Structure 1
Amino acid sequence: MSSEPRKGASRHFVLAAGGTGGHLIPAFALAAELNARGHHVALITDERGANIPGKPDFMPAHVLPAGRFGKNPLGWFAGVRAVLQGRAMALRLFESFQPSAVIGFGGYPALPALLAATSAGLPSIVHEQNAVLGRVNRLLAGRVDAIATSYDQVDRLAPKHAGKVHLVGNPVRAEVLRLREQDFPDFTDESLFRILVTGGSQGARVLSEVVPDGLAMLPPALRQRLQVTQQCRPEDLDAVRGRYASHDIPAELGTYFEDMHERLAGAHLFIGRAGASTIAELTAVGRPAILVPLPIATDDHQAANTREMARAGGARMIRQDAFQPKELAKQIQAMAMNPASLANAAHCAFNCGRPDAAKDLADLVESMSGIDLMDVIRVGESAGVAAALRPATGTPRKAAKERVE
């Protein structure tokens, strides 16, 4: 589908997302695609999302109340009140902005916006980034018109909703997607072995404790060629620096790297968590990985996220309770002692990528707004059931499509 704007086809769309990068990165990618097609886009989010780096300048942000519903029922009344207040504010926004469709990306701030859309009779879509349908998307699944997924197997998706499933993938940042055109960095018995380690604020501690000692256990043929880049929490920096120095392993450490996409481009192996955006970027670029799912992730969704990439041969998953230096060294050796094995894993990761995710999701959004398209994702009843219910295999699949004249 072309990104060229179509004359007379301009529409208004509202995107609603929680304030984390996992929800907002795909929302921003869709916003950029819709803007390139000549549409107007607004964002509903929370305070974090309104101020997060990377928000497109063309997209105004509206902060609405959004209650949270934890394990304590005593807080539910306040949560319901906030959702109802946010829903009323969203309805007033829709009266002035007049959106053709509302698209939710999960997170509690998306709930009042989607409830307002369904009560106003506006076309609505939810996009699920993970391989487990999130809480808010589960609440909305029966109300919305379409469910866009990132994986062909999505847990917690009720069979009765399978007919509205559209497999599109998880949109990634444009600067990352451009790296798909580059070859995997040369890796031979003589070349440097560049490893990128990241884990986010919740996941960096265990990586800081295990990775340096695990790398030190590698055979000399690998260890002597190491060049490590690792993201750490500020309080861990000195200890990690000391660990690498004691092992005589060159490592660049930081709490944040603005050029992370460039570091990913040069990496031969990634070690880190298995968030949805991380998996989408690794498969978009084609980088093999050792993934350590965050054990406290809701519904264990990070472990589910690893399934497709691991079964295809592009990644290895280690549960955190088994993530010890000896096990890490063992898995790295299995992937990298033979240069051809690492390159093959990179190819398998690449084949899991869905580089047209933003375009395919934009096609779906436009189809909900009454624009005639030449290429719209149309997952029918049988295909939708298959996408939702069949077990994942190692063979990557593209979204099912039909031509719509």
Structure 2
Amino acid sequence: MTISRHYVLAAGGTGGHLIPAFALGQELINRGHHVALITDERGAKIPGCPDEIATHKLPAGRITKNPASWLPGLKAIAEGRMMARRLYANFAPSAVIGFGGYPAFPALLGAFAEKIPTIIHEQNAVLGRVNRFTARRVNAIATAYPDVLRLSPRYASKVHLVGNPVREEVLDLRDQPYPALSADGIFRVLVTGGSQGATVLSNVVPEGLSILPVSLRRRLQVTQQCRAEDIDAVRAAYATHDIPAELATYLPDMPEKLGWSHMVVSRAGASTIAELTCAGRPAILVPLPSATDDHQSYNVKEMVEAGGARAIAQPAFTAAELAKQIQLIALEPGAMENAAKAAKSCGRPNAVADLADLVESFGRAPIMHGLKSKSQSSGGFNPSPALAKENAA
């Protein structure tokens, strides 16, 4: 018999933080639990949140090196902490799970104040700032990589390698074979810069593909995600080189595109790496140089060492270098298939189930009946209609 509990997920306003949170939330719902999400204005606009999850927005103060940010940042954090505590009073969570990003910080501080068990999940190969600030006080630290920089060895006893949860549609790709690739068949390339796109890919990839040997270039079929301001120039470049290309600023059917691709050219965000290794797709990875703590350069390490990807630092990412790296793998018989196997060997397809198991292993006594009764309503943190209805029943 499944015993229903309440859980709160807290994540920053980017897809990198929220996609694994959504995946965990759906898994917990599937197990019979109730889930709420804390994020900010940006995060509330990220698509993919399960309908059953009630989303709550709270202030997420940022404290930078600029002293002018300190007072307003601390004020916002304090306000967010207070609002989180009011939510917990109504929702009575068994645990709060943080996925990094500034909105997770006041949510975790509120959980510490209420003595609610806490878990943090780190998606990248470098421990993020909010997770570094809270690592000492949380009950467990879930990681996506076996080696995580800036994670103190003194926390080793509470570290659990689970991987990075991915969407169910991507997880389904793991059971599908790598697309057949004959010597004269279509060679499908997927190009994506993540949720925000990447101008450098728009500038370099069309030219790089155009200088491939004719025997390879004539087989190309490209799907590329571009920034809105770049898409017309990219379309013109592909037309000039007579390369068939489907372009869009957003690819809602990304799992389907990933499923038929033979090679991916992309940034090296945590969710991208997780999806590539789950599906088993060879990749040319271009880490974002401005990423916090240069974490994307470390994200690629495991996949590159296994032989599933090649990484090119952005300053070295030229059309000639891209063409060279593609040829090294695409023109050698069997190399693409071997790289696909190597990429898949780095995947952790049980990540969402393992993380959910970890979450269920911590927490207060099971909650059997709806919300904890409260006579007062907390501003901005009313329970979802579904939960309120259940509590009234």
Q: 1:106 aligns to what?
A: 100
* Contact 2:189 2:221 (C-alpha < 8 Å) held by counterparts: yes
Alignment correspondent of 1:191: 185
1:161 to 127, 130, 155: 155
The aligned counterpart of 2:77 is 83
Q: Is the 8 A contact 1:316 1:331 kept in 2?
A: yes
User: Would you say the 8 A contact 1:188–1:339 is kept in 2?
Assistant: no
Of residues 34, 37, 42 in structure 1, which corresponds to 2:31? 37
Residue 330 of structure 1: SS of its match in structure 2?
helix
Matches within 5 A, 1:299-378: 299-369=293-363
| Structure 2 residue aligned with 1:387 | none
Task: Tell me if the contact between 2:6 and 2:94 (Cα under 8 Å) persists in the aligned partners.
Answer: yes
Identity %: 66
Aligned length: 366
CA-CA distance at 1:371 after TM superposition: 7.9
Q: Secondary structure at the match of 1:112?
A: helix
Aligned with 1:235: secondary structure? coil
CA separation in 2, counterparts of 1:347 and 1:84? 48
Report what 2:388 is aligned to: none
**Which residue of 1 is the match for residue 42 of structure 2?**
48
Q: Extract unaligned runs of 5+ from structure 1.
A: 1-5, 373-405
Matched, 1:135 2:129: yes
Mapped to 2, the partners of 1:128 and 1:253 lie a distance apart of: 32
Partners of 1:92 and 1:370 lie apart in 2 by 18
Separation (CA, whole Å) in 2 of partners of 1:357 and 1:85: 33
Separation in 1 of the partners of 2:173 and 2:333?
21
* Alignment match, 1:172: 166
5 Å-filtered alignment, 1:388-399, equals none
Post-superposition shift, 1:135? 0.5
What SS does structure 2 have at the residue aligned with 1:287? coil
2:275 aligns with 281
| Matched position secondary structure for 2:323 | helix
Offset at residue 195 of structure 1 (A)? 0.2
Shift of the 282–138 alpha-carbon distance from structure 1 to 2, 3 Å rule, reads: same
Q: Please tell me whether the aligned partners of residues 187 and 339 of structure 1 are also in contact (alpha carbons under 8 angstroms).
A: no
- Per-residue deviation at 1:339? 3.8
CA contact (8 A) 2:120 2:138 kept: yes
Other structure's SS at 1:264 match: helix
Number of the residue aligned with 1:23: 17
More deviation, 99-108/334-343: 334-343
Say if 2:114 is the partner of 1:150. no
> What TM-score, normalized to structure 2?
0.91
Letter in 2 for 1:233: R
SS of the counterpart of 1:103?
strand
- Residue 232 (str. 1) matches residue 226 (str. 2): yes
Q: Is the 8 A contact 1:273 1:293 kept in 2?
A: yes
Question: CA RMSD of the aligned region, Å?
Answer: 1.3
Query: In 1, distance between residues paired with 2:68 and 2:203?
Result: 39
Moved over 6 A (4+): none
Conserved in 1, the CA contact under 8 Å of 2:197 and 2:226? no
Change (3 A) 1:371 1:188: farther
- Match of 2:338, as an amino acid? N
- Give the conservation status (yes or no) of the 8 Å contact 1:11–1:40: yes
The C-alpha deviation readout for 1:165-224, integer Å capped at 9, x for no partner, is 100000011111111111000012011100000113655211111111111111122111
Measured against aligned partners, the alpha-carbon deviations of 1:42-92 in whole angstroms (never above 9, x if no partner) come to 111111222322111111011111101122022111111111111111111
Secondary structure at the residue paired with 1:58? coil
Deviations 1:112-143 (A, max 9, x none): 11011112111100000000000000000001
Looking at structure 1, the residues matched to 213 and 338 of structure 2 have their Cα atoms a distance apart, in angstroms, of 21
Q: Deviations over 1:226-250 (max 9, x none)?
A: 1111111122122111211221211
Task: Report the Cα distance in structure 2 between the residues aligned to 1:147 and 1:44, rounded to whole angstroms.
Answer: 19
Q: Deviations over 1:365-398 (max 9, x none)?
A: 00002689xxxxxxxxxxxxxxxxxxxxxxxxxx
Contact 1:294-1:302 at 8 Å conserved across structures:
yes
Counterpart contact for 1:201–1:233, Cα < 8 Å: no
Name the CA distance, whole Å, in 1 between partners of 2:276 and 2:364.
35
Asked whether the 8 Å contact 2:7–2:36 carries over to 1, the reply is yes
Contact 1:335 1:342 in 2 (8 A): yes
- Tell me if structure 2 keeps the 8 A contact 1:203–1:294: no
